[in-house]
């Protein structure tokens, strides 16, 4: 079998994995009274490296007003706050609050439990390789 012939199976498998993961994410987010987009935004907000709001706009491929609404909802729940980039005050960044970091950690733990059902057949080595590959792909994106 050539690589190009295996691509449809690869993409369908990847999409099935991603959609199942998204269902887990939505269900877990709902437990914390978060929309799916609020949950994703919270998980993608790094305490050490705050992201500019326009990063989320590009990532989600949506209008800036959508990101404003998502961040507004997270701010109302005291999970994030807005700040300004140190070297360019025109750029608004999203910062995790202490409470946001706690909820992020709890959601991550819940996701790991939920995804165990999909990943349980991977060996420890395969799971580590999968994690490393996903991190490389994410950084390249």
Q: Write out the chain in H/E/C secondary structure.
A: CCHHHHHHHHHHHHHHHHHHHHHHHHHHHHHCCCCHHHHHHHHHCCCCCCEEHHHHHHHHCCCHHHHHHHHHHHHHCCCEEEEEECCEEEEEEEEECHHHHHHHHHHHHHHHHHHHHHHCCCCHHHHHHHHHHHHHHHHHC
Mean pLDDT along residues 22-33: 94
pTM: 0.82
Mean residue pLDDT of the chain comes to 88
Residue 105, pLDDT above cutoff 80: yes
CATH architecture of structural domain 3-140? Orthogonal Bundle (1.10)
Q: Which two tokens stand for residue 129?
A: 């390789």
Mean pLDDT along residues 71-88: 93
pLDDT interval class at 56 (50, 70, 90): very high
* Predicted local confidence at residue 20, as pLDDT: 87
Domain ranges (residues) in the chain: 3-140
Q: Which two tokens stand for residue 39?
A: 């949950």
């Amino acid at each position: 079998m050539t690589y190009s012939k295996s691509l449809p199976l690869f993409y369908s498998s990847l999409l099935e994995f991603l959609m199942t993961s998204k269902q887990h994410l939505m269900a877990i987010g709902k437990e914390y009274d978060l929309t799916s987009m609020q949950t994703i935004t919270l998980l993608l907000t790094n305490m050490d490296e705050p992201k500019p709001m326009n990063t989320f706009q590009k990532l989600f491929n949506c209008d800036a007003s959508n990101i404003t609404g998502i961040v507004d909802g997270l701010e109302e729940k005291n999970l994030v706050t807005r700040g300004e980039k140190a070297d360019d005050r025109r750029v608004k960044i999203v910062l995790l609050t202490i409470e946001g970091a706690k909820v992020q950690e709890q959601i991550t733990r819940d996701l790991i439990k939920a995804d165990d059902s999909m990943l349980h057949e991977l060996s420890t080595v395969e799971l580590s390789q999968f994690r490393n590959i996903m991190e490389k792909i994410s950084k390249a994106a």
